[in-house]
Chains A and B, each alone.
Chain A
Amino acid sequence: MTDDKDVLRDVWFGRIPTCFTLYQDEITEREAEPYYLLLPRISYLTLVTDKVKKHFQKVMRQEEVSEIWFEYEGTPLKWHYPIGLLFDLHASNTALPWSITVHFKKVVELLFFLKHFHCNLFLVSRVREWLLHFSNFPEKDLLHCHSKDVIEAHFMACIKEADALKHKSQVINEMQKKDHKQLWMGLQNDKFEQFWAINRKLMEYPAEDNGFRYIPFRIYQATTERPFIQKLFRPIASGGQLHTLGDLLKDVCPSAITPEGLHVQRSSKEEALVSPCITPPAVLCSTVFQKARLELI
């Protein structure tokens, strides 16, 4: 896998130029300039947008600030998906920079109303209580993200599930808590070497095994209610030969294969025609997708 270090680095350091704009109905005292940022493909929106928050908080009053969430052309963006996945899923065919709308503001008008309108104490307190939760946060679409702990828990849960598939959880469970922490800190602080010092153990398998137990993969589709397809898939066929990406897709999502072969987009600029008959998903797993999980659009 050291041969593929260049590819691992390319994936890790992939960036998407993004323009953040405050939702126009959220009236502020001063107008807020859009904020530009290069987003890491492998990270999560709520992990890398502290500067965006600070920028827009400057034009808002403290009591108006509520949980931030992001939207692209009317679609709430799931912060728990990697940024690159969100971009490929929703905006890969559009021109850069990626334009994201920021939602940040509590519904203030009614709070103001309550402050100055006297009515039954019990009723008021119930309504006030209700309102303090109400921030037009799309509860049916997005997970809450009140702290970095939430992101860390989600990230580690993904790593653990991938290892359950690859190694029956043996490798991840044998690691110490500090190793788990190092994976997370590597992601949070954008430290490639720090991350891979631990992740390489999750990408190895005993020589006699010839591969992982199952390939950790998910196939995302923007058009379905079901968020992704995930099934058990072995890297080695019963005859001993390596399965390829084409085999995986034929088995799991046959409609994705066209007669010309499979078009794999790694970014809006890089397109590679990958022959489904040649590339084993396990190889793709270890070289292209560094987060111990293969994610295909």
Chain B
Amino acid sequence: MAGEEGFFLEEKRFKQYCEDFVKHSQQIGDGWEWRTSKDLGDGYLSKTHFQVRNRHIPPDLKKKNSDNLEQILFARVEEPLDDSQAAGVCSAEEVVRYEYHVLYSSSYQVPVLYFRACCLDGRPLTLDEIWGSVHASYQARLQEGPWDTITQQEHPILGQPFFVLHPCRTKEFISAVLSGSQEHHRHTNYIILWLSTVGPVVGLNLPLSYAKLAPEQSTNADLAERALS
């Protein structure tokens, strides 16, 4: 797996790419910001946005996780209130608030995408709902191993429950995009490449203007690297 070597990202570079990323986001009003932790000086990218979505669960996943799914999403009370009660609730459109964080994993030496989602009334989405909302193009991959792909985890800086796109699976998603050595992609902002590849899996899309982040704008990373070596 020699090609995988090129996908590792050093933490200082991560921070520099994030800085360039935020600058561009500010220019186009895309809503990303960098948050620094007060105690150890590390930090993460953060963005909140709202999405309207249709709630439904693909039948296969429903079979795998039927324990609570019936109870939670298809809300059947023992005695129906009224004979004319419809099950329309299940596929209602609703607005969901998504909060995305990009953190650095020193264990895997890659960025990691954390996110949480809740309805406007504050109800957090369940894991099954999150799996169900994974983009159709990635459903097959997800169903091969949902427990290896997206699960709930504790946010390493905030200590709160978030959903995580597993870094191991990230390498699979990104290897489809990054062919060639790291040298070739030296001037590319890794965060933009990575986020534009994995983000859509969980409903996060980058406007095309990020691709315009030209090599001269990302030379800060190279300068930093040269200064360090």
Q: Given A133-B72, A140-B160, A160 and B39 touching (CB < 8 A)?
A: no
Of all chain A residues, the one with the shortest Cβ separation from B148 is A153
Chain B binding site: helix, strand, loop or mixed by DSSP?
loop
CA distance A163 to B158 in the complex (A): 24
Within the complex, the shortest CB–CB distance from B223 to chain A, in Å, comes to 24
**Are A153 and B81 neighbours in the complex by a CB distance under 8 Å?**
no
B84-128 with Cβ < 8 A to chain A:
84-86, 88-89, 106-108, 121, 123-124, 126-127
CA distance A124 to B77 in the complex (A): 12
**Are B108 and A164 neighbours in the complex by a CB distance under 8 Å?**
yes
- Asked whether A154 is an interface residue with its Cβ less than 8 Å from the other chain, the reply is yes
- Asked whether B78 is an interface residue with its Cβ less than 8 Å from the other chain, the reply is yes
A120-170 with Cβ < 8 A to chain B:
121, 124-126, 128-130, 132-134, 139-144, 146-147, 149-150, 152-154, 157, 160-161, 164-165, 169
**Are A144 and B126 neighbours in the complex by a CB distance under 8 Å?**
yes
Q: Which residue of B85, B126, B166 is within 8 Å of A157 (Cβ)? A: B166
Q: Which residues of B contact A (CB under 8 A)?
A: 37, 39-40, 65, 67-68, 71-72, 75, 77-79, 81-82, 84-86, 88-89, 106-108, 121, 123-124, 126-127, 147-148, 151-154, 156-161, 166, 168
Give the chain A neighbours of B127 by CB distance below 8 A: 144, 146, 150
Q: Sort A-B residue pairs by CB-CB distance and give the 6 closest, nearest first.
A: A153-B147, A227-B159, A143-B152, A146-B68, A164-B107, A125-B89
Task: List 14 extra interface pairs beyond A115-B77, A227-B154, CB under 8 A.
Answer: A111-B77, A114-B77, A115-B81, A118-B82, A121-B84, A132-B71, A132-B77, A139-B161, A143-B153, A143-B161, A146-B68, A153-B147, A227-B156, A231-B106
